[in-house]
Structure 1
C-alpha cells in the first residue's frame, strides 16, 4: 500500500510537470507570435522640411519613411528604430542632428509603421532593409557620407547587415549580443528567472516561425567584422541587454571604437533619458568620424 501511494504521488508530480511544460510551450508560442506580429501605425503629419519617401527593399517589402535633405551637405545619417516601434521613435534624434547640418533618413522597418510586411524577423529581413536604405541614399545623394544610429533592433539589424565598408560610422544602442540572451533576459525580466531556464523552447519556436539559424541572429559575431568607427551605448541597469553584454560587444569590436554605459538607464530611449550628455557624446563622435 505504501509503495502504491508513492507511485501515485510520483505520477501526480510527473503529470503536473508535464502540464507546466505544455502550458509554457503554448504560452511561449503565443508570446512569440505576438512579438513577431506586424505593428501597423498611421504615422501622421509630415514634419516641416521633411519629404515622404518609399523604396523597395531586398526584404521584398515596400519601405516608407521621411527624408530631410540638409543644404550643408555634411552627410546623411540613417536612423533605425527598435522592435514594435516606428520612425517616430527616432524623430527627436533626427531633429537634434538636423540642427548641426546633417541630412536624415528615417524609415519604418518592414512589418512596422507604414511599411509592408507580414512578420517581424528580429533582424533577418530588417538587415536587408538597412542595406536597401544605404543604397537608396547612395542613389539619391551620390558619394555623400553616410552614418547609422540604430536602437535595439535597429542596431542589431545594422550589425547583421555587414555594411560597414559602405558607411562612415555606426552607433548601436541597447543591442543584444545573442538571440539566446535576448530571449532569456526578457523572459526572466517579464515572467520569472527560473522559467528563463526554458529559453531553448522559446528559441526553437522562434526558429520555426522565422526560419533562422542561431548564428544568423548573433550581433556579437558580426561586430568584430565592422571596419568603420563604432560607438556602443547601453544602459547600466538594462535588464534586456546586460552591461556585461555591451562590454563584450565593445571588446569584440575593432578600433576606432567607443563605449558609453549610461548610469541608471534601463532598456529605454537613451536620448530621452540623458538628452544633454547623449547629444554631447554622440555629436562629438559623429563630428570626428563624419568630417
Structure 2
C-alpha cells in the first residue's frame, strides 16, 4: 500500500471520527439543551389554565392569598435551585413532593399540585429541576443528577412543613424517571411511598428509541460516543442513568401509571420497571391514553387511584 493511499485512508478515518464526535455533540445539545418552554413562566401558567380549567380557581385563590410561595436552596456544586410550595388548608403532616417532566417546570405540574393540595388537602412542594423554571443550570439532567437535587428538597421539606411529616414523591415523564431514581437511594423514614407516571426505564433506552424514531439511526456509534461525552460534560452517562436498576433496590411502595397508547415513553417500559420493583407495588394502565395524559383524560379516576394508594401508606 503506497503512502498516498495510506494518507487517503487516514483522512477518511479522521473525517468519520470528526463526524461521529460532531454528531454526538449535536445530540447532547439537542437533547439536554433544547429550546426550553420550562423557562417561560407566564406561558406555562397560561397553558395550565387553558388545559386544566378546573384548577384555575385553586391557582387564583393561592395567588390571591399569597399562599403559593417561593423557596430556594443551593446544591453542593453551587447551582441555585427553586421550588414552589403551599400548605394544606389545615395543619397536617401529609406532604407531596411533585417532580415535573422534560422541558417542563413546576408550574406545569400544578394539576398534580391541585390533586394533592385541593383534593387530598396535602402540603405540596414542587421543585424546578435544573435548566428549567427559576432554577439555574446549563443542561437538562434527565433525572440522574436531578435525583440528588430532589433528595436535597426532601431533606429541606421538614423545615417547611414540620418534623413529623409523611410524604409521597410523585413524578410524571422525566419526573417519573427521577422519582424512580430517587427511590433506590437511602431516604428518610418520612418518605412513605412513590407514584411514577409514564417514566422511562433508562436514559439509554429512551435516547435509543428517540434516535431511531426521530432520525432513523441505530444506537451505534452516536449513542455510545454521546454517552461518553455526556460523562465528560455532566458527570454521568446514559447507561448509569437507570430507573430500572434503581427500582430494583426500592423497598417502599410504588404506584406505576402509564397510558396504553404512549409512543413517546413506550408502554412496554412500565412493565419492565414494574416487574423489577419488589413488593409492595401497584399498576394502572390507562386505556386510550397517550404520553403524560392520564390525569388529563381521567382526572376523577386518577385522583381516586392516587388517593387509594397513598392512604394505605400515609396515615
Q: TM-score, normalised by structure 2?
A: 0.78
Establish whether residue 130 from structure 1 lines up as the match of residue 156 from structure 2: no
Give the secondary-structure state (helix, strand or coil) at the position aligned to 1:217: coil
Residues 269 and 20 (structure 1 numbering): CA distance in 2 closer, same or farther, change over 3 Å?
A: farther
User: Residues 228 and 237 of structure 2 are in contact (CA less than 8 Å); yes or no, is this contact kept in structure 1?
Assistant: no
Give the secondary-structure state (helix, strand or coil) at the position aligned to 1:168: strand
2:299 aligned partner: 275
1:50 aligned partner: 68
1:238 aligned partner: 262
User: Residues 95 and 165 of structure 2 are in contact (CA less than 8 Å); yes or no, is this contact kept in structure 1?
Assistant: yes
Residues 185 and 240 (structure 1 numbering): CA distance in 2 closer, same or farther, change over 3 Å?
A: farther
Give the secondary-structure state (helix, strand or coil) at the position aligned to 1:116: coil
Q: Decide which moves more: 24-33 or 93-102.
A: 24-33
1:157 aligned partner: 178
1:32 aligned partner: 28
Give the whole-Å Cα distance in 1 for the aligned partners of 2:297 and 2:155: 32
User: Residues 36 and 120 of structure 1 are in contact (CA less than 8 Å); yes or no, is this contact kept in structure 2?
Assistant: yes
User: Residues 184 and 197 of structure 1 are in contact (CA less than 8 Å); yes or no, is this contact kept in structure 2?
Assistant: no
1:69 aligned partner: 87
Q: Which of the numbers 98, 109, 117 marks the counterpart of 2:129? A: 109
Q: Which of the numbers 241, 247, 255 marks the counterpart of 1:217? A: 241
Mind listing any 5+ residue stretches in structure 2 that lack a counterpart?
Answer: 1-7, 46-58
Residues 112 and 197 (structure 1 numbering): CA distance in 2 closer, same or farther, change over 3 Å?
A: same
CA deviation after TM superposition for structure 1 residue 242, in Å: 2.5
Give the whole-Å Cα distance in 2 for the aligned partners of 1:263 and 1:204: 38
Give the secondary-structure state (helix, strand or coil) at the position aligned to 1:53: strand
CA deviation after TM superposition for structure 1 residue 222, in Å: 0.7
Give the secondary-structure state (helix, strand or coil) at the position aligned to 2:284: strand
Give the whole-Å Cα distance in 1 for the aligned partners of 2:240 and 2:218: 25
Q: Which of the numbers 145, 167, 179 marks the counterpart of 2:166? A: 145
User: Residues 110 and 116 of structure 1 are in contact (CA less than 8 Å); yes or no, is this contact kept in structure 2?
Assistant: yes
2:53 aligned partner: none
Mind listing any 5+ residue stretches in structure 1 that lack a counterpart?
Answer: 1-10
Give the whole-Å Cα distance in 2 for the aligned partners of 1:190 and 1:269: 21
2:3 aligned partner: none
Q: TM-score, normalised by structure 1?
A: 0.84
